Amino acid sequence: MQIKINGIKVEVQPHMTILQAARKAGIDIPALCSMEGIHEIGSCRICVVEVKGARTLMPACITRVEEGMEVFTHTAKVRRARKTILELILSDHPEECLICAKNNQCELQKLAMQMNVQRVRYEGEYSPRIIDDESPAVVRDSAKCILCRRCVMVCSQIQGVNAIAPIGRGSRTIIAPAGRESIMNSPCVQCGQCVNVCPTGALTEKSHAARVWEALEDPGLYTVVQTAPAVRVAIGEMFGLDPGTPVTGKMVSALKRLGFDRVFDTNFSADLTIMEEVSELIQRINEGGQLPMITSCSPGWINYLEYFFPHLTGHLSTCKSPQQMFGAIIKTYYAEKAGIPADRIFTVSVMPCTAKKYESQRPEMHSSGYRDVDAVLTTRELGAMLKEAGIDLLSSSEQSFDEPFGPGSGAGAIFGNTGGVMEAALRTAYEMITGEELKNLEFHQVRNLDQVKEASVDIGGMQLSVAVVHGLGNIKEILEEIGQGKSPYHFIEVMCCPGGCIGGGGQPLSKDPEIRQKRIAGLYMEDQNLPVRKSHENPVIKQLYREFLGRPLGQKSHELLHTRYQNRRELIHSAY
Amino acid sequence: MLVSVQQIEIGQEQSQRVEEIIEAYKHKPGALIPVLHEIQNVLGHLPMWAQQRVSDAMKIPLSEVNSIVSFYALFSEKPKGKYSIGVCKGTACYVRGADKIIEQLQELLGIEAGDTTPDGNFSIEVVRCIGACGLGPVVTINDTVYTRMKADKVKAVITSLIKQAEGGG
């Protein structure tokens, strides 16, 4: 099919929108509310174009191409209309750009620049500002919201959580949970996917930067930082690198320059998680425990299950996440080994995730007598702190993680992407169960971006049936099947965010449609290049069990590395 | 506060009615609005516990239910007063001074339009044109229509209703 855009002939597929066709032809039509494939309601009207023969201007994001269509994307009429629309949006938007967390990353700001808007002709009352900062993870500022509804769509269509919706009508509409409540009194799982799609500063993470700066400057505190696998393949983006470029060594030296006393690798505690989780799986299979067992590293996923399927939390592994396990080990084993009192140690983690902030503040994450993790920075926050400290990541030297919790295994590295925890677990389960060496380490059945992946793995004559799910919106059917006692699986990996942690709500903002594939490729590259690729072969893990923990699922592990779950729905709705 | 007390008092019978309404419509697609409408007829408004019941039974997220309840002027999330006052703010009533009537009512009752007095006796609502344009500004109190309202007339009517409410216990 052929259409003409600005007089240029363009070959298009039927069902394409004008916006897609124009992008294909290299013509940039500004768009704001649209998210391809997820959110196509044409609500903001910024993308209007002239179509020959049409009575009115047409929104390019939802108007389908037709044979022989003639489209004009930047005529005076179109530009005037867009400017008017943008000015109307700006007339109810606070002029606080210089001190906004989204400054320079705001899509509204970019549009204003692109369309050369230098004054706003409309004056009127501003919508009231309602700030919801009760959540330890996500902050909402209604004054900066332009009602584009991207957050609503990602929350309902991708995550299946439906925490927020447009409440009220007309100019008094706000995006909020039912009853205009705080998100803390809603099903919100704190995943931060809404933060990633918000075009303005209406949704941001709750910053822990101030408390981390304070700890770094306190000579009485010994600061220990751990970095999650997904951070190293994404933080480079904030300094201009291609997505997925691993910058592990540079990140370590930058963290040291920032002033941390010790820089450790969360991959190490991912290995520890595998030791405990695989032992738990084997125990459940041998002793007739609840199956399928489901992974528990993703705090957004935990929040989801605790709210929507609280009767199924017995299927969750009781293992704490790697972040929390690490904190507990630092404040016990490491404190003793290094001769530093636990109350002087301040543990920070750098995570691709906002839900990790929530997780770190759960009351039960305190099993050593001290908070496992004292502060959680997102990848974005760390990038911003490095810039504030004048540290250029790219010109930093390459350094190794500190001993003893330095290099994790390759299995730990792939914890950051969908399928990775499963693959890491299979590598260890095979050898733990059969006592034989696993020849082919790579389980390609679980290595893609399909929404639900299944595999059956022969382990010493036993067929282990597994599934891998990412994006909470894809999990419901599997859970209903479990509820009916019909699940065919032994073991399921669930990651809350699409693509896994590399697509987490704390990662650098990106418009690259291939962002997930690129970051995942970076992690598999890390895995391939590490000398140890199985968790149980990590020498420090062996040492930790020998010197401190005893054995997986032992008394000490039970106290420090395992947790329990709650019925979040009951907690919240006892309020009505 | 008052709402929850009322809820406990009316609890059993009304929640039974709510369940019956939901049961009747549960499997009909697109029945959300009629269900909400009928529940409001029983309860007088749509408290959050009723919205939550609808959400659970009809498997529609609570945020979506509340989005609809808060969108339509027909639905009320707050209980109406024993005397439910509606002030018309249609064009004709507006130009004839409906604003002053609203101000007067707010001052007399100590509440904002859209709210209910703490004793549950009065609520003020701003309504769209009720079709009595020639007689504006128009005020309705329950089923009685008051026409050509002025500030002093409002005061007289409200004062007498306050007395009635107190006297009648």
- The per-residue pLDDT for range A486-535, each reduced to its tens digit, is 999 999 999 999 999 999 999 999 988 899 999 999 999 999 999 999 99
Among residues A402, A409, A408, A228, which one has the least CA distance to residue A321? A228
pLDDT at position B81 over 90: no
What is the nearest CA distance from B160 to chain A, expressed in angstroms?
A: 35
Residue A317 is among the residues annotated as catalytic for this protein = yes
Q: B83-167, what's its fold?
A: Glutaredoxin (3.40.30)
pTM across the whole model? 0.91
Choosing from A50, A237, A280, A306, which is the catalytic residue?
A280
Reading the block at residue B82, the tokens are: 């024993």
Confidence at residue B24, expressed as pLDDT on a 0 to 100 scale = 92
**Is the CB of residue A166 less than 8 Å from the CB of residue B67?**
yes
- Domain A209-561, architecture per CATH: 3-Layer(aba) Sandwich (3.40)
Confidence of residue A572 (pLDDT cuts 50, 70, 90): confident
What is the nearest CA distance from B164 to chain A, expressed in angstroms?
A: 33
Residue in chain B nearest A173 by alpha carbon: B71
Whether A162 sits inside 8 A of B49 (CB atoms) is no
Average pLDDT rounded to a whole number, residues A287-299: 96
Confidence of residue B169 (pLDDT cuts 50, 70, 90): very low
The full 3-state SS of A60-71, as one line of letters, equals CCCCECCCCCEE
Domain ranges (residues) in chain B: 2-71, 83-167
Confidence at residue A93, expressed as pLDDT on a 0 to 100 scale = 95
What is the nearest CA distance from A175 to chain B, expressed in angstroms?
A: 9
Whether B63 sits inside 8 A of A164 (CB atoms) is yes
Whether B48 sits inside 8 A of A179 (CB atoms) is yes
C-alpha A571/C-alpha B13 separation (Å) is 26
Segment among A117-126, A147-156, A493-502 with least mean pLDDT:
A117-126
Confidence of residue B5 (pLDDT cuts 50, 70, 90): very low
Average pLDDT along chain A: 94
Reading the block at residue B97, the tokens are: 């001074």
pLDDT at position A157 over 90: yes
Average pLDDT rounded to a whole number, residues B125-139: 89
Among residues A555, A514, A150, A190, which one has the least CA distance to residue A354? A190
Whether A165 sits inside 8 A of B51 (CB atoms) is no
C-alpha A276/C-alpha A271 separation (Å) is 9
How many beta carbons lie within 10 A of that of residue A115, not counting itself?
16
Scan residues 170-199 of A and list those with Cβ closer than 8 Å to B.
Answer: 177-179, 186-187
Whether B62 sits inside 8 A of A164 (CB atoms) is no
C-alpha B114/C-alpha B125 separation (Å) is 5
Confidence at residue A376, expressed as pLDDT on a 0 to 100 scale = 98
What is the nearest CA distance from A179 to chain B, expressed in angstroms?
A: 7
Q: Which of A162, A169, A573 sits opposite B63 (nearest CB)?
A: A162
DSSP 8-state secondary structure symbol assigned to residue A154: I
Residue A319 is among the residues annotated as catalytic for this protein = no
pLDDT at position A576 over 60: no
Q: A2-90, what's its fold?
A: Ubiquitin-like (UB roll) (3.10.20)
Name the helix (H) or strand (E) containing A262.
Answer: strand A262-265
pLDDT at position B115 over 70: yes
The bridge status of strand B122-127 relative to strand B83-88 is parallel
- Domain A127-205, architecture per CATH: 2-Layer Sandwich (3.30)
Domain ranges (residues) in chain A: 2-90, 127-205, 209-561
C-alpha B80/C-alpha B43 separation (Å) is 10
pLDDT at position A36 over 80: no
Choosing from A364, A477, A480, A570, which is the catalytic residue?
A364
C-alpha A380/C-alpha A382 separation (Å) is 5
Reading the block at residue A179, the tokens are: 């009853």
Confidence of residue B10 (pLDDT cuts 50, 70, 90): low
pLDDT at position A378 over 50: yes
pLDDT at position B6 over 60: no
Confidence at residue B14, expressed as pLDDT on a 0 to 100 scale = 83
Confidence of residue A171 (pLDDT cuts 50, 70, 90): confident
- Residues in chain A with CB shorter than 8 Å from the CB of B72 are 169
Q: Percent of chain B at pLDDT above 90? A: 55
Reading the block at residue A366, the tokens are: 């305190």
- Report pLDDT digits (tens) over B20-39: 999 999 888 889 999 999 99
